[in-house]
Structure 1
Amino acid sequence: MVVPTYNESENLEWIVGRLREAQPGVDVMVVDDNSPDGTGEIADRMASQDPAVSVVHRTEKAGLGAAYLNGFAVALEAGYDVIGEMDADGSHQPEQLHRLLDALHSADLVIGSRYVPGGSVVNWPLQRLALSRGGNLYVRLLLGIKVKDATAGFRLFRRTTLEAIDLASVLSTGYVFQTDLAYRTVTRGMRVTEVPIEFIERVRGDSKMSGQVASESLKLITRWGLSERLAQLRSRRGRS
Structure 2
Amino acid sequence: MEDYNMVAFCTEQTTAEQEYFYSIQPMGVNACVVNLTIGRNERNLLAEKQIEAARKAGMLVHASHIARFTTPEEARDEAKFFLANTRAFTLPKNAVHTLIFTPTVADKSTMELINFFQETLYLHGYRNQDLCVTAQLITNNIIQPGNLHLRPNLTVIDYNRLYPSVAGAGTWIFDDEYLDEQQLIAYDFMDFYTKPNQMRGRQLSLDTEYIVRAGDSYWMIARQLGMELAELLLLNNARIGDKIVPGQRIKIA
Structure showing greater relative contact order (alpha-carbon pairs closer than 8 Å, 6 or more residues apart): 1
TM-score scaled by length of structure 1: 0.29
**Structure with max Cα Rg:** 2
